[in-house]
Homo-oligomer: A and B are copies of this chain.
Amino acid sequence: MPATSASRDQIAERIAAVFIQRGYEGATLAQLSQATGLGRASLYHHFPGGKAEMAADLLRRCATELQHRAFRHLSRKQKPERRLARFIDGFVDYCQDGTRACLIAVLAQGSATEAHGEAIARQYGDWLGDLIRTFEAIGMKPKRARREAERLMSELYGALLMSQILADPGVFTRTVKRLHKSWP
């Protein structure tokens, strides 16, 4: 049933947009209803567990998307420099050139942390490990590779945050441009 599936994806996407903009508790069912075009009761048909289930489902989708768009490229059999470039470009796609915050990072703050904080921490720990291995493949020693991996993640997420705060995507795009030149 392709129509139903597509619709389901659209629903998830619109719900995600509200969660990103308003946060977990800031997102009310009334707003989610309006954003999706579905009545409140209909939302409970798709997500019997209510907001909690929406968040859990969206987190899974988001992690899958980020893995597929960005981190997946780190495990390819290519030159590590090329893997990093592809990873960065994938991340740029994921956050739409710095105009869209990362839902996982949003839900990692606030009270959703109690329910999903540990899983999110584990996920990012794994992803950081992928980056570290890539930097080691370039020839860096473990310590240096860890620092570089942490720096890359911090810069991407920091620039994303600064762009949002300053309401200026330029910070993010300039950061990406610079990061691309880091390993020539």
* B-binding residues in A (CB < 8 A): 21-26, 101, 105-106, 108-111, 117, 120-121, 124-125, 128, 147, 150-151, 153-159, 161-162, 164-167, 171, 174-175, 178
Contacts and interface: CB of A to CB of B under 8 A. Distances in A.
Q: Tell me what chain A mostly uses at the interface: helix, strand, loop, or mixed.
A: helix
A-B pairs with lowest CB-CB distance, top 6: A158-B158, A154-B158, A23-B110, A25-B26, A154-B159, A157-B158
B147 A117 contact: no
A150 B178 CA distance: 11
A90 to B, nearest CB: 18
A154 B175 contact: yes
A120 B167 CA distance: 10
28 contacts: A21-B111, A22-B25, A23-B23, A23-B25, A23-B109, A23-B110, A26-B110, A101-B109, A105-B165, A106-B109, A108-B164, A108-B165, A110-B110, A117-B167, A150-B159, A150-B162, A150-B171, A150-B174, A153-B158, A153-B162, A154-B155, A154-B158, A154-B161, A155-B158, A157-B162, A158-B158, A158-B159, A161-B161
A153 B120 CA distance: 24
Contact of A154 (B21, B110, B125, B154): B154
